[in-house]
Amino acid sequence: MPELPEVETITRDLNQIISGKKITKVTIPDEFDLKDISSKEFIDRATSKVVFKAKRIGKMISLQLNNGDVILFHLKMTGLFSFFSKESEIPKHVKIIFEFDDGTKLNFSDVRKFGVVRLVNKKELNTIKYIKTLGIDPTTEEYTLDNFFKLIKKHPNKTVKSFLMDQHLICGIGNIYASEIMYKSKINPTIMVIKLTVEQNNKLFKTIKEILLKAIENRGTTFSDYRDTIGHKGTNQENLKVYNRKDEKCFSCNQNIIKIVQNSRSTFYCPKCQT
């Protein structure tokens, strides 16, 4: 579930909670694929380093260490951080445990095991495929109407849904916010982006940012698994207008919300409002 607003919330939490702390111990209870290095090397390189900053890269989270190394996480569907200030039970499906010099602990767990943890030197960041091919982040200055139009012209035949979901074009939007963005923009998910009017383009451009920023304000959407670093739910689910509302009434026109499948993922929309 974690999309840009959820990952941003967690990153901000981590910055508050662990920046400036020294990692005193790293535990990897069960071997898993760390992509670049062995778990032994991971533990060696991370132990007794200071975390000076957490940063979001698309839907990834990076922890910058004081030796120039960077620990990267991708939560995929169900990755979860849990932070404890005291001795407490280790959550199920834990992948990695960090202990800090003040006695606190940070666990990263993932029930579905898709979650990614890796460690590289900061010089190697741009060789990581996900990062190298990442699209424009809608919360940055690079996200301009001009750049938005360029993307549309470059990918004219993509449907709006597929365009919004493609992390190589604009990063951070996932299945929940894609439906919400299209609803607020009053745009039909199935039309090709080249068919959008100038007004629709402008509206879509603006709405992407509005929806994501609003969700960050609300500390993310908890649909099922997502929790922040201390186990709290977000509150943005109260703002959802179409996601998971199949056969329920559109808040605007009372028509039933419908569910379709695009690129083997659900899309929810109002057939009357979104044309």
Contact set with DNA (CB under 7 A): 1-3, 58-59, 74, 76-78, 93, 111-114, 129-130, 133, 154-155, 157-159, 162, 167, 174-176, 223-226, 259, 263-266
Residue 40 or residue 154: which is nearer to DNA going by CB?
154
Contact (Cβ atoms closer than 8 angstroms) between residue 144 and residue 92: no
Q: How far apart are the first and last CA of the chain?
A: 27
**Residue 3: active-site member:** yes
Residue 251 token pair: 């808040």
Strand partners, 61: 56, 73
**Residue 59: active-site member:** yes
Residue 199 token pair: 């007004």
Residue 214 token pair: 């609003």
Catalytic residue selected from 53, 265, 271, 272: 265
Q: What whole-number distance in Å separates Cα of residue 145 and Cα of residue 201?
A: 9
Q: What whole-number distance in Å separates Cα of residue 209 and Cα of residue 193?
A: 18
Shortest Å, Cβ 101 to DNA: 32
Shortest Å, Cβ 95 to DNA: 12
Residue 49 or residue 161: which is nearer to DNA going by CB?
161
What 3-state class would DSSP assign to 258? strand
Residue 134 token pair: 């990442």
Residue 257 token pair: 């919300």
**Residue 2: active-site member:** yes
Shortest Å, Cβ 224 to DNA: 5
Residue 138 or residue 174: which is nearer to DNA going by CB?
174
Q: What whole-number distance in Å separates Cα of residue 163 and Cα of residue 167?
A: 9
Residue 93 or residue 241: which is nearer to DNA going by CB?
93
Catalytic residue selected from 49, 56, 59, 227: 59
**Residue 265: active-site member:** yes
Shortest Å, Cβ 2 to DNA: 6
Contact (Cβ atoms closer than 8 angstroms) between residue 83 and residue 230: yes
Residue 16 or residue 263: which is nearer to DNA going by CB?
263
Shortest Å, Cβ 270 to DNA: 17
CA distances in angstroms from 274 to 212, 251, 266, 271, listed in the order given: 20, 13, 16, 6
The residues that are catalytic are 2-3, 59, 265
